[in-house]
Amino acid sequence: MTPAINQLKAAKVDFHTWPYTVEATDLGYGLAAAKALSVSPDRLFKTLMIAQDTKPAVMAVTIIPTSHTLSLKKAAQAMGWKKAIMADPTRAQRSSGYILGGISPFGQKTQLPTLLDASASNFDEIYISAGKRGLQVSLAPAVLGQLLGASLVALIE
């Protein structure tokens, strides 16, 4: 059990868990997960933490397909910031309570504003980290949005 799974169970929403084997040679966790689960990288989403450039302590969560790169400019605009940067990895781990490669938007220690890429609406179900490397959950994007109060916006390059 992870805090992410606990939050989903407590919310009594429909979701499925998908364990897979993490290889020592895996560098791109999301792409490795998509390959291991035979899921399109467009349908498997990664959780990235961003910070406000002028106030690095002000952070947000972005969720985008593993097949794409986050547009920091679009993320900053969606947050109403002048500029966004990737959050410091140590700070992201401390804030979320998860290790890199296993950060889930669910069950985070500190609930942050959350942005979900608009491409999620192309699918009935998306995959996202369940809070540890080697475990994904699948659920409807609308459920994710509702549970996290996520804004659906264009975030990818």
For residue 37, the domain's CATH number is 3.90.960.10
Give the residue among 19, 20, 67 at the shortest CA–CA distance from 43: 67
Question: What's the average model confidence in pLDDT over 63-71?
Answer: 97
Nearest-angstrom CA–CA distance, 18 and 127: 9
Give the pLDDT band (50/70/90) at residue 56. confident
Query: What is the number of structural domains in the chain?
Result: 1
Q: Tokens standing for 85? A: 């940067």
Is the predicted pLDDT of residue 35 greater than 70, yes or no? yes
Is the predicted pLDDT of residue 77 greater than 80, yes or no? yes
Question: What's the average model confidence in pLDDT over 11-15?
Answer: 98
Give the pLDDT band (50/70/90) at residue 114. very high
Q: What is the pLDDT of residue 22?
A: 79
Give the residue among 129, 153, 124 at the shortest CA–CA distance from 140: 124
Q: What is the pLDDT of residue 26?
A: 59
Is the predicted pLDDT of residue 24 greater than 80, yes or no? no
